[in-house]
């Protein structure tokens, strides 16, 4: 039966919409690990975002305080588990600063070479996961895994392990590079450069990818500084801040490389900065191969079997794959640190997620989260 408008009793208020809550995670492919975000949406637009972390907490800092300086190595490469050697380098530098420990020159070059290969590996995995977030399905992941396995194979030859090498030691590295390593690294670099070109064609040259990312969630320089962003996140805003250049450590002051920056600080710029950084890392690796002494010590021979440090306090920061990876160390005698605190770049970058997501569509929230390139082992510690 037809009801005339004037006979209808329903109030116009009954057609008003209400905000809805969407739970994403903690077990969800888009969260890149055990991370949960609760989105409040008005239709398809995000009006609030509440991130929840802590699902992967393993007590890194307390474990380090209860083991001697060398035993703790294994915990640190499990923080940013896509670039374990970068984490090992920061921890070793903190111990060396506390104990005034010198590192042989050849070991320094080996550290930087391995760290930059780890950076490339981490960025490849970002391309793979981010491409899947945007809509390339499995193709981007296949490309990333292909290059990752080549680098991991080399890590296994050098350290005996792949994902968690535990290769560095306070005072140097565990052992020298294997015979024929120069040929292997040159082969890997050739594959890496081809892999980057493949990603350029698959993602950078894809009109849909560009349209979905360009102009999405822009961040200004002032906002990046206020929010404590670092690494590719802050360089995407146009600010050329890189700790390897701002406060050179190891042998970075002897190496020539550019600092890629973006213009708008949006999702597309964050992707492009990482792509350009991977190319720069290949240049750094080649310079390490050229400048590295042909022979020499790779571990300080004067270190005792049990490393003891009297009194000391330090803060060491390095340019990790996600940003400023900082280690605060405090020694009060004995063979164990009194305090070891990690300044996690992923945690700081993730803290700005709400400001980046609010006002955008739900479908874009997944892409914005992916552009942060978080690793939950480093966030939760």
Is there a domain that residue 10 lies in? no
Residue 6 confidence (pLDDT): 57
93 backbone dihedrals φ, ψ, rounded to 5°: -65, -35
Segment 106-124, tens digit of pLDDT: 999 999 999 999 999 999 9
Could you give the CA distance from residue 341 to residue 347 in angstroms, rounded to a whole number? 13
Residue 29 confidence (pLDDT): 80
The CATH number for 258's domain is 1.10.645.10
Is there a domain that residue 2 lies in? no
Give the structural domain span for 245.
Answer: 17-380
Could you give the CA distance from residue 261 to residue 46 in angstroms, rounded to a whole number? 29
Is there a domain that residue 12 lies in? no
Is there a domain that residue 6 lies in? no
For residues 131 and 139, the answer to whether their CB atoms sit within 8 Å is yes
Is there a domain that residue 327 lies in? yes
Could you give the CA distance from residue 255 to residue 259 in angstroms, rounded to a whole number? 12
Could you give the CA distance from residue 189 to residue 167 in angstroms, rounded to a whole number? 21
> Strands 27-28, 45-52: parallel, antiparallel or unpaired by DSSP?
unpaired
Is there a domain that residue 4 lies in? no
Name the nearest CA neighbour of 127 among 200, 27, 236.
200
Match 């720069």 to its residue by tokens: 280
Residue 25 confidence (pLDDT): 79
Number of domains in the chain: 1
CA gyration radius for the chain? 23
Could you tell me the CA-to-CA distances from 350 to 55, 289, 378 in Å, in that order?
A: 15, 36, 11
| pLDDT < 50 stretches in the chain | 3
Is there a domain that residue 5 lies in? no
Residue 257 confidence (pLDDT): 96
Residue 73 confidence (pLDDT): 87
Residue 18, classified by CB atoms within 10 Å of its CB into exposed (0-12), middle (13-18) or buried (19+), is exposed
End-to-end CA gap in the chain: 65
Residue 315 confidence (pLDDT): 96
Is there a domain that residue 3 lies in? no
């Amino acid at each position: 039966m037809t009801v005339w408008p004037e006979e209808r009793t329903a109030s116009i208020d009954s057609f008003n919409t209400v905000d809805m809550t969407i739970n994403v995670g903690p077990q969800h492919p888009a969260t890149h690990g055990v991370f949960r975000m609760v989105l409040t949406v008005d239709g398809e637009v995000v009006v609030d975002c509440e991130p929840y972390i802590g699902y992967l907490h393993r007590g890194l800092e307390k474990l380090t305080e209860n083991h001697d300086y060398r035993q703790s190595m294994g915990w640190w490469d499990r923080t940013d588990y896509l670039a374990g050697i970068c984490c090992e380098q920061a921890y070793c530098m903190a111990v060396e600063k506390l104990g005034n420990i010198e590192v042989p020159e050849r070991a320094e070059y080996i550290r930087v070479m391995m760290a930059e290969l780890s950076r490339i590996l981490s960025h490849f995995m970002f391309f793979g996961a981010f491409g899947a977030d945007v809509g390339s399905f499995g193709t981007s992941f296949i490309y990333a895994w292909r290059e990752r396995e080549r680098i991991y194979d080399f890590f296994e030859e050098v350290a005996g392990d792949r994902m968690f090498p535990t290769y560095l030691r306070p005072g140097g590295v565990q052992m020298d590079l294997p015979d024929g390593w120069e040929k292997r690294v040159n082969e890997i670099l050739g594959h890496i450069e081809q892999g980057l070109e493949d990603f350029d064609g698959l993602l950078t040259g894809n009109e849909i990818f560009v349209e979905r990312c360009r102009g999405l969630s822009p961040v200004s320089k002032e906002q990046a500084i206020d929010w404590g962003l670092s690494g590719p996140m802050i360089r995407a805003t146009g600010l050329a801040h890189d700790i390897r250049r701002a406060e050179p450590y190891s042998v970075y002051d002897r190496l020539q490389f550019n600092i890629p920056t973006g213009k708008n600080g949006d999702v597309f710029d964050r992707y492009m900065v990482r792509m350009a950084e991977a190319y720069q890392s290949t240049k750094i690796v080649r310079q390490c191969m050229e400048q590295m002494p042909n022979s020499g010590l790779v571990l300080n021979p004067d270190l005792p079997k049990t490393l003891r440090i009297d009194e000391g306090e330090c803060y060491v920061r390095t340019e990790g794959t996600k940003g400023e990876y900082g280690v605060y160390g405090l020694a009060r005698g004995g063979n164990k640190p009194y305090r070891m605190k990690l300044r996690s770049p992923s945690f700081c970058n993730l803290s700005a997620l709400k400001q980046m997501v609010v006002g955008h569509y739900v479908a874009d929230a997944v892409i914005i989260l992916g552009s942060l390139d978080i690793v939950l082992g480093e966030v939760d510690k």
